[in-house]
Chain A
């Protein structure tokens, strides 16, 4: 199946926070255990990409970035490139009114907790085998809940944290060759 015409383009707009289908709400703020939660998130992401996503998709996702390259290449696209990044939404975006910013922050926290919970329920044993043990999963969930409680306690914290979150999109593009390859 090749629904794109010869010479046509295939692109994917990605967000750093979703890389590998595992969003994490990275941000800049000062709180106890901030470094620990970043460490655990990164460790979980590595284990997820290596043990689960790679197995399901049949690609090597051990590398933390630019994972679309091998996927695009494997389906025969050429001239694969990263085009850059564009500004998108964040709680600190000046266009965003406070009520929308608050709703956005709540939704993101709910999504992150939901994702972690589902990962734990479905894949805890696999992740444990690939270097993310059960006790660290419990710790990450606890720290994540505490972080969101900390952020929700003061709306300014969410906006400040979002400042580093405001331009995360990048675009990867490839072209279908004019001739069969």
Chain B
């Protein structure tokens, strides 16, 4: 985990697919023809409040924002390097009004109860 916490299950979640490599991993993910289907699967609607847990560089957060106008997406991750890169990409893609990335742990979600319409994660479990 990026903040130095010991996660007994981190064996496969850190290392070579963080930061720029994580972005490379997802750059080609989701063939465009499948994206509407993905949004339907996730239950994202315009104006939805969406939480993306373990967002990394925010690839899925940004994809949701680009695909569903008005959706408000919060990405949560513990890896500061990935979050920093993700924030740069949000600015570059002009998604600042829809996406914000927050440092925090999935074990202690820093949000009030009943705050989100949809919660998702990508290869976190």
Q: Which residues of A contact B (CB under 8 A)?
A: 1-6, 8-15, 18, 21-23, 52-53, 56-57, 67-68, 71, 83-84, 86-89, 93, 95-96, 100, 103-104, 107-108, 110-111, 114-115, 118-119, 122, 171, 173
Contact = CB atoms under 8 A, between A and B. Distances in A.
B125 A4 contact: no
A12 B124 contact: yes
Nearest to A11: B120
A8 B21 contact: no
Given A86-B38, A114-B16, 17 more contacts: A3-B112, A4-B51, A4-B116, A5-B115, A10-B119, A11-B118, A13-B122, A21-B13, A22-B11, A52-B8, A53-B9, A57-B9, A83-B41, A86-B34, A87-B31, A95-B28, A114-B15
Nearest to B8: A56
B113 A1 contact: yes
Contacts of B30: 86-88
B83 interface: no
Interface in B72-125: 109, 111-125
